Amino acid sequence: MKKIGLLRENQHSNIAVLIPQNIRQLKSDAEFYIETNAGLASGYTDEDYTKAGAIIINSKSELINIADVILSYSAVIGNEEINSTKTFVGAYDVLNDYSTIIPFQKKGVNVYSLNLLPRTTIAQSMDILSSVASILGYKAVLIAATISPITIPMMSGAGGTLRPANVLILGAGVAGLQAIATAKRLGAIVRAFDVRKASKTDVESLGATFIDIEGAIDNSNAGGYAVEQNKEYMEKVDEILFNEAINADIIISTAKIPGKRAPLLISEAAIKAMKPDSVIVDLAADTGGNSALTQKGKTIITNNRITIVGDTRILGKIAKSASFLLANNFASFLKHYLANNDDDEILNATKVITDGQVTNPRLIAEIENL
């Protein structure tokens, strides 16, 4: 029977990619070992895991030594702790940051990244990107609403009527759609833009207005993700979004391209022309940002009083909810992994390193283009 280990994340992540209910579901298929306090920041004690059937291990290195398969979201692992007989499963963002897996490569281990899951029906229950995007889209609107000095819904009282806030959503994938839904629930007037024409129906179904800019390149082989656009189209986008930005009280930007820098959608000129005290929450900050002035991991206030949030640790601030979603994704993948060999579409797509060698075609292509 395979021995599965769960690592404790660093203090800024707080995510637990297995929770006690997953262990109860899978304990007939594997033995489970949990690094002490691995779930504490997400609301799960060592006692909770023990009651579910797991064994608590006091140190990271001891757990790695015992387990055959080691799970984490983004736990930092030192070279000295990696054993060459092991398999690591995580949310390694290898297409955007290859350096995250170099220590694993040097030690000759096997590595799977759930960030590379194929967009198939079978893999849907394992889709960590959708889980993360959904919860971040929701939280981004709440962060902006808290920072903004204006109310979101229209409110009438003895002193008069407050108009509803104008919210602009850039990118209408999972994060963007959740941001639209949240902003609408709060009573905002919402407008949204995405290069993918197919997203118009989703945007309008949530009650938002879709900003239609003709001329986008749409790649049916991109698995539903946006692709890079040509210079002429982006110039048109820049002009139209300039006018949208200066009318917005809040902008939530979520646009990303797998393996590429996030598209620049809010120019410096647009930011300088925005209304004072407007707020931008840039969920693409970790890959360069959709805003020209976004600073990764920081919140800044410009000279004209525009707050730009580039926080890359939002997920860890909603750890309990995030852990619930991600743990179910990881458990679904783990169940599939335990029931299949490597000659499988999902395992082939997510396997990054085999015995220390990079074997994932998508990653190989990215490395060759560096």
- 8 A C-beta contact, residue 271 and residue 292: yes
DSSP classification of residue 91: -
Whose CA is closest to 322, among 92, 129, 55? 129
**Is 286 assigned a catalytic role?**
no
Answer positive or negative: Cα dihedral of 129, 135, 138, 143.
Answer: negative
Which among 130, 253, 278, 332 is annotated as catalytic?
130
**Which residues have C-beta within 8 Å of that of residue 297, sequence separation ≥ 6?**
285, 310, 311, 312, 313
Which among 59, 84, 124, 125 is annotated as catalytic?
124
Q: How far apart are CA 291 and CA 64, in angstroms?
A: 40
**Is 124 assigned a catalytic role?**
yes
DSSP classification of residue 97: -
**Is 196 assigned a catalytic role?**
no
Which among 225, 233, 321, 344 is annotated as catalytic?
225
Q: Residue 43, class by beta-carbon neighbours within 10 Å (0-12 exposed, 13-18 middle, 19+ buried)?
A: middle
**Is 33 assigned a catalytic role?**
no
Which among 119, 148, 238, 362 is annotated as catalytic?
119
Which among 42, 73, 74, 127 is annotated as catalytic?
127
**Is 119 assigned a catalytic role?**
yes
What six digits make up the tokens of 151?
A: 């109310």
Whose CA is closest to 64, among 1, 2, 11, 7? 7
Whose CA is closest to 61, among 82, 33, 40, 75? 82
For the annotated catalytic residues, the residue numbers are 119, 124, 127, 130, 225
